[in-house]
Amino acid sequence: MSKRNRDWGNTLQGRFLRSMRFGCEPLDSLLVQRLDASRDESAVRALEAEDTLRELQQNERVAMARDKQVDFAQDVLEWSQSKGRKVIGRLYALLSIVICVTVIVLLMETVMNMPAFGSPAAPANNEVAARYIEKGMEETGAVNIVAGMILDYRAFDTLGESTVLYIAACAVLILLRIDRQKDGTPTQELIAEEADDRAFEPENDRILQGSAKVLTPIVLLLGIYVILNGHLSPGGGFSGGAIVGAGLILYLNAFGFARASRFFTYKTFTTVSLFSLSFYALAKTYSFYCGANGIPSGIPLGTPGAILSSGLILPLNICVGMVVACTMYVFFCLFRKGGL
């Protein structure tokens, strides 16, 4: 019986009654701890609830912003397909008219300021043409006056023409090239193009291949000759490069892309074009700088008529020829099957 009373006195009710009866015994420290723990748990739950509410509000704001963006994009799409199409069409027509009128005005102004036909001040009658003929060989070292003019007197224009060829090739690459997948495997479109490449041609044409074996080296050697002798005889980089490009195309038609890709790929095109245009630009920049400041360039002109003469004209002819040949070959490959 005493043990039961003692156990009951240690319970929460017993301790509470003793505290009320005697008034001096404080509440048990365990009860205080329990109350503190309950208070802490309530505070933690309140903080968690506040964080959850804040997260829900943030997600709601993000969803509302995303919905607004989607609605705006949908409105823009609908506008572009209805009223926007008319507005853009009118703006395009207006800009086209403004550009055409501006170009016409500039050209007419230029023509009006040109000397009249037959005037002594006209370019055909001034000293420029006479200087090309009389001093061309002495100043450029080139027997071919045309080569001396386009690669020395007017070399800056020729650089622009070569750059235009390279830019045109890049534009055709962007429009017509059929890219492979990221892992290097061909796409279905590329596989279909390769399958249709020789659909209307014999797989192994002995006449074509036999003719190509004989003609391709001759055509390539002729093109190289025209390029290397451009400063001595009619020819040069443009005509020689066209001949070399024709030889490459002949080889491709006879033996196919598999054999042609052994020596000519996209990397070949980019490397040759970059090297040729860079060398041309750097060489003529040095020449222009020296000429504009009256500084001797130190580039020997050599003996007129010799293969190693005319200063920079020979290497510039080689650069132009390589750019022209690569551009012709790449154009043919892209128009034929969309790649090399």
The pLDDT tens digits for 23-71 are: 444 445 555 556 566 666 666 677 777 778 888 888 888 888 888 887 7
Question: Which residues, including other chains, have CB under 8 Å from residue 27's CB and lie 6 or more apart?
Answer: 15, 16, 19
Q: 29-33, 69-73, 101-105, 131-135 — which is least confidently predicted? A: 29-33
Top pLDDT among 312 and 6 is at 312
- The three state secondary structure string of 20-56 is HHHCCCCCCHHHHHHHHHHHHHHHHHHHHHHHHHHHH
The token pair that represents 149 in the structure block: 């003019």
How high is the pLDDT of residue 90? 85
Domain extent listing, the chain = 2-81, 145-337
Neighbours of 74 (CB within 10 A): 10
How high is the pLDDT of residue 98? 95
Single-letter residue type at 7 = D
The pLDDT tens digits for 107-124 are: 999 888 877 777 776 766
**pLDDT score of 2 more than 80:** no
Chain centroid, CA 116 distance in Å: 45
Question: Which residues, including other chains, have CB under 8 Å from residue 157's CB and lie 6 or more apart?
Answer: 150
**pLDDT score of 6 more than 60:** no
Question: Dmax of the chain from CA atoms?
Answer: 144
Closest CA to 145 of 154, 155, 136, 153: 136
The pLDDT tens digits for 199-243 are: 555 567 788 888 999 999 999 999 999 999 988 888 888 899 999
The pLDDT tens digits for 167-205 are: 888 888 888 777 666 666 666 766 666 666 655 555 677
> How wide is the angle at C-alpha 206 spanned by C-alphas 204 and 210, nearest 5°?
125
How high is the pLDDT of residue 25? 45
Three-class SS state of 264: coil
What Å distances lie between residue 21 and 25, 29, 193, CA to CA?
A: 9, 18, 103
